[in-house]
Amino acid sequence: MKEELLFSAKNIKKSFHSTQALKGVDFEINKGEVVGLIGENGAGKSTLLKVIIGTEAPSAGEMFIKGEKFAPKTPMDANQHGIGMVFQEQSLITNLSVGQNIFFGYEKDFRKLIYVNWNKMYEESQKALDNVGATGISPRKKVLDYNFATRQLIEIAKVVNVSLRSGSDNCLILLDEPTSLLNENEVAALFKEIKKLTALGHSVIFVSHRLDEVLDITDRIYVYKDGMGVGVVDTKDADERKLYEMMVGRSTTTEYYKIDQQIEPDEEVVLECKDLGLSGIFKHVSFELHKGEVLGIAGVVGSGKEDICSVLCGDDIATSGEYYLKGEKVSFKSPNRALKSNVLMVPKERLVEGVVTTLSVAENVAMSQLKKPSVGPFISKRKIMKQANSWIEKLHIKTKNNKELVLQLSGGNQQKVVFARALASESDILILNHPTRGVDVGAKEDLYTLVRKMVKEGKSVILLGDTLDECIGLSNRVLVMKDGLITGELDSPSTNKLKQIDVVTLMM
Amino acid sequence: MKGQNKGNLSIPDEFAIKIKSEHRREQIMRYAPASVLVLMVLIFSAIAGGEFASINNLIAVLNQIAIPLLIASGLTFVILLGSIDLSIDGTVGMAGSLLSILILNTKNGNDFGIFGVLLAIGASVLVGLLIGVIHVKLKIPSFMVSFGFMYICKGIAILSYGGIPASISGTLFVALPKVSFIGIPFITWVAIIMVAIAFFIQEYTPFGRHIFAVGTDERIPKSVGVNVDNVKIKVFVLAGLLFGVAGVLGAIRLGQGQSQIGEGLMFPAQAAVVAGGTALSGGKGGVSKTIIGVFIMVVLNNGLSILHVNPYINSAIEGLIILTAVSLTVAKGRKVISK
Amino acid sequence: MKEKLIKAEKKGKGSQEFVKYFSFSAIIILVLVFWMIDPGFLNRANLSNLLSDTAPLMIMACGATFVLILGSVDLSVGAVCSVVNVLAVFFLTMFFAQNGNVLGSALMGYGLALLFGGVAGLLLGLAHVFLKLPSFIASLGFMSVWKSVALLVSNSPVSIPKLLRPAVDWAKISFGVIGLPLVLALIIVITFYIIQTKTNFGKALYAIGGNERAARIAGVNINKTKIVAFVLAGLCAALGSIFLVAKLKSSTPTVGDSFTLLVIASVALGGTALSGGKGSVLGTVLGVFIVSIIRNGMIFAGVDVFWQDIVFGIVVIAAVAVSVDRSIKNLIVK
């Protein structure tokens, strides 16, 4: 097939607050092509999609569609140029019919004065479904009568329909993690659809964590890392290992992760999981956590590692199996109960579930203390502020004073506040959920030093690293998870750090 | 390739089972309101016998159903948005009171006839518009704005007749409550027609479809270019219209205008909407479901009064119905945050 | 974009300060206005009347403040007040008929009535927390239930018989223009202030109101805090109602109807935002005074009672509009 360029993006940059999500990436796709876009979390894949579809405007760079300059201000603008996106969270209105969803927002196309010709709309809906080869779907039935996989097809039909109606013969369809909730058969059906689309001359950008699927359906693959393009390969020349190496490859410097400060953990087992399971998410999880240990859990998105943390910190309740704290069986019904047993999580989404922005630094630091600094039976504001000052100094938190609004601190400093909170609580077992997400390099190093110090003082840490590199670098041992099961348990002593490739093979 | 393990269910299977049981629950809930209605009719017939299951009583029920039907239909649209309108007691009473002093009455010389009807309803529409605009533009929760307006309208109602209600004296308006067509009273016919129009708007106009979208997740219609603010305001205006008609009919039936016309109408309407199966979270339900809910409430009321149950209990029963119905439809889950 | 958020957050804090200054000036302005309409407004009798009026409202608004700081709302406060009102007198007369002891009957009667308030709050808290009912609909549901209960206990006003008068005479004690009820109410305010600033529970209120998800992960006991807040609100509604019994020397099954609006108006005028995480009982006290001055002033000026409905309806909406937290980006309001 002759290759004709459909869409290109050059040197796209995008910043949010103080973080640069995209540092100047390129992207090109031809008519009738399926191009994959892969990268770790935070690599910039979703951001690029948002820029293409028009929900975010780029800070710099240019885009071209069919040779014409293209700068959408809203998704509708993108639609007008023949670009449509199927978002990760479905955007169908379940209580409306399939046809009404396909033409949602465009009902005026069927309007004659005050009268709406619904029958015509249903006819057109049927055509739209036929267009993508989605058989067996009745346009008049409500969306909620169809299962998830079918709804995915309806979304694709909707997106293609909107793009086609704008007058383009060649549409660009963006698929963001389309297979995360599909079983094997449904994935196969989806891929058949995609092939039908490309046969008609449309193009698809396929973003996914499932490298095996990406290798199956795409013609070329772009790899992004830390907001930059690492390279683009022809699918026939690539394999999972090579892709993953491109995605995560970083030079590990012993100084960066303070590996020389890594200590050997005690014999004492502080936490033990036996056959732990959360229905539909993970199963048969068994491991031991020792005093003074950093235990890393590695796995791709959806492997279940985050959910293990939720269960252990009390946010979720396990549906099978048990866990023991220093030999005693426990089951935390809430994070409050876990805290009472000295288990606490440092959460991933700082602004959403980490800090309370309506409170000051001092108040945030004191939040996890069950017994707050007090004078007699009354909490002492003076003591709370004194405590906050001491942590500000210890952790080098850059803030004007402890009364400052947490919102005004940079990401790294906000994270330090959350760490201070965790340390002030005197919990023994800390679960660090992507603790350096969105944090600048200087603050990262401070946090790594902090982790080393914590375990030296006798605390134990379960770590979900922001990158595989970080996980290996900081941990004494690494548990590897895949599809809800533990696939490996590897030692990573300071003298003989794991190689990424050893872990990757177990993750995929 | 996916997590297959020794013996018992694989993880994707567990997930599928979870989804299936949720689905089944929803199916059952769909038929619950109608079953409750049938059950109630049977129980009351059994206990109260002929007094309940008679043609006379059927006509009485048809009479009683008119105003709750109008109010509950208006409220349904608001709840489909995910909002709520607590102003009902006030707006209905206000419309009725205004009507009684605008058409031929015993208090003043006004004789606006049909214009009086339009003006009274217009006032209620205006209140709906204000509620919608203040809610949308000032970002004040709907329950708060409408709660405030309930009192404002109550005050305006009493203000309009200066404390002493006016009796309607126009011959046409006095005669209307007694007019029937195939056994169904005129007032109920008006209600039926208005509700039919409401249903048409809900099902067959883009506006109606957009209401469901906004109630489901307002970001979706927004991204397609639907003016969400306008949809919301129009819904409150529509509700105001239906409340206004209810108030006007209430005054006509009563023969006089009083703020009391609206008294205590909000709870049964609220109960009717949730009992019928429209979820408070929005995007689910509709006028047709509410009709069943209204029948449930009216038949319940009717049956209890035939059995000479203390009328003061009605409010409590409505409250319990609201609590039960909402708790059955509300989203559960450990991480759900409700305020 | 972060700068915008910070500006808005500062504006939010700024509007809190604004409301405080506004409240103080509003009180002064209102007093002046009513005094100009009729100088008798500030005479001893009316002043004492005005001040004693504030006591029940102040107590009820204290409990409501905690609920609002959480980000929830309790629309049943008026109905609980009504039930407690009739129960108090009912139990008083019942115990007195049994044993003729005024003090004993008073303790038992008031005690049981107070207990009801706590139970009502507990039920509401449990329904909200464990059934996941949004607080406004749960309190609405309970409101209709309690309305019935009040009318079933006693469907018409009941006066306190002469022999039992000593049980309510304490309300007549006064120190100049300031009556004992007001003193007691202020003591309760101070107590609540201490709870708000110097206890774990108080800190938890603000944390949950500010960001419930973060508070949960940080280990704050969400369920307990919420339930306790509703129980306190119920107890306050009950206590305020008992003060009403003492003041009016009678019970009325519909006495609480107007209080829900007045309570919310007081708290909103005091600077507590509906979205939660901010506010203080001290601000609420100012709000209570504004509401009472308006109410008393209007009655004193001979304005018809139904104007109160109109005025307070507008006041509530305006007060809430000013205190709305506009710093939240893409705030979805339902």
Question: Smallest CA–CA separation between C79 and chain B, in Å?
Answer: 12
DSSP state, residue A465: -
pLDDT exceeds 90 at position A324: yes
Half-sphere exposure of A469 (CA within 13 A, CB side): 17
- By DSSP bridging, strand A485-491 and strand B180-181 are unpaired
Q: What's the rounded Cα separation, in Å, for the pair A22 and A61? A: 10
The predicted-structure confidence for A266-287, as pLDDT tens digits, reads as follows: 889 999 999 999 988 899 999 9
Q: How deeply is B183 buried, as exposed, middle or buried, from its count of CB atoms within 10 A (0-12, 13-18, 19+)?
A: exposed
Give the pLDDT score at B2: 43
pLDDT exceeds 50 at position A330: yes
Kindly list the averaged pLDDT for each block of 10 residues, start to end, along chain B of length 339: 50 78 83 90 87 85 92 96 94 93 80 87 96 93 94 92 81 82 86 95 91 91 88 97 95 85 88 91 91 93 89 90 88 72
Tell me if chain C has a CB within 8 Å of the CB of B105. Answer: no
Q: What's the rounded Cα separation, in Å, for the pair B322 and A309? A: 38
Give the best residue of B133, B211, B260, B312 to mutate against chain C (max C CB count within 10 A): B312
The predicted-structure confidence for A139-158, as pLDDT tens digits, reads as follows: 999 888 888 788 888 888 88
Q: What's the rounded Cα separation, in Å, for the pair A51 and A75? A: 10
Give the pLDDT score at C18: 66
CB atoms within 10 A of CB B225: 13
Give the pLDDT score at A27: 93
Tell me if chain A has a CB within 8 Å of the CB of C193. Answer: no
Instruction: Please report residues of A whose CB lies closer than 8 A to that of B283.
Output: 93-95
Phi, psi of C103 (to 5 degrees): -65, -45
| Sign of the dihedral through C-alpha A330, A333, A334, A336 | negative
The predicted-structure confidence for B248-289, as pLDDT tens digits, reads as follows: 999 988 888 888 888 889 999 999 999 998 988 888 899 999
SS3 A319: coil
Chain C stretch 216-235, residues whose beta carbon is closer than 8 A to a beta carbon of chain A: 216-224
Q: What's the rounded Cα separation, in Å, for the pair C280 and C244? A: 24
Q: Provide the b/e sequence for A252-280 (b: ≥16 CB within 10 Å).
A: eeeebbbbeebeebeeebbbbbeebbbbb
Question: Smallest CA–CA separation between A92 and chain C, in Å?
Answer: 19
Q: What's the rounded Cα separation, in Å, for the pair A78 and C96? A: 79
Instruction: Please report residues of B whose CB lies closer than 8 A to that of C223.
Output: none
Identify the structural domains of chain A with CATH numbers, from first to last: 5-248 (3.40.50.300), 251-342+427-508 (3.40.50.300), 350-426 (no CATH)
Tell me if chain A has a CB within 8 Å of the CB of C162. Answer: no
Tell me if chain C has a CB within 8 Å of the CB of B330. Answer: yes
Tell me if chain C has a CB within 8 Å of the CB of A144. Answer: no
% chain A with pLDDT above 90: 38
Tell me if chain A has a CB within 8 Å of the CB of C198. Answer: yes
What ipTM goes with this model? 0.86
Give the pLDDT score at A2: 53
Give the pLDDT score at C13: 57
- Residue A358 to residue C223, Cβ atoms within 8 A: no
% chain B with pLDDT above 90: 47
pLDDT exceeds 60 at position A254: no
Question: Which CATH architecture fits C2-323?
Answer: Orthogonal Bundle (1.10)
Tell me if chain C has a CB within 8 Å of the CB of B263. Answer: no
Instruction: Please report residues of B whose CB lies closer than 8 A to that of C261.
Output: 147-148, 151
- Residue B2 to residue A91, Cβ atoms within 8 A: no
Q: Which of A33-37, A87-91, B24-28 is predicted least confidently?
A: A87-91
- Residue B84 to residue C137, Cβ atoms within 8 A: yes
Q: Which chains touch A (3 or more CB pairs under 8 A)?
A: B, C
Place of tokens 């959350």: A418
Half-sphere exposure of A239 (CA within 13 A, CB side): 3
Tokens of A138: 């009745």
The predicted-structure confidence for A457-469, as pLDDT tens digits, reads as follows: 999 999 998 888 8
Tally helices (H) and strands (E) across chain B.
13, 2
**What is the chain A residue with the closest CA to C204?**
A367
Question: Smallest CA–CA separation between B233 and chain C, in Å?
Answer: 12
Q: What's the rounded Cα separation, in Å, for the pair C80 and C233? A: 10
Output the CA–CA distances (angstroms, integers) from residue B162 to B103, C248, C294, in the order listed. Answer: 16, 27, 21
Tell me if chain B has a CB within 8 Å of the CB of A88. Answer: no
The mean of the pLDDT values for chain A is 87
End-to-end CA distance of chain A: 33
Segments in chain C below pLDDT 70: 1-20, 325-331
CATH number for the region B66-320 comes to 1.10.3470
Tell me if chain C has a CB within 8 Å of the CB of B190. Answer: no
Give the pLDDT score at B7: 44
Give the pLDDT score at B97: 92
Give the pLDDT score at C15: 56
Instruction: Please report residues of B whose CB lies closer than 8 A to that of C306.
Output: 154-155, 158-159, 163
Closest CA to B221 of B204, B238, B206, B234: B206
* Long-range contacts of B291-295, Cβ-Cβ distance < 8 Å, separation of 24 or more: B291/B69, B291/B195, B292/B33, B292/B34, B292/B37, B293/B33, B293/B72, B294/B65, B294/B68, B294/B69, B294/B72, B295/B37, B295/B65
Question: Smallest CA–CA separation between C260 and chain B, in Å?
Answer: 10
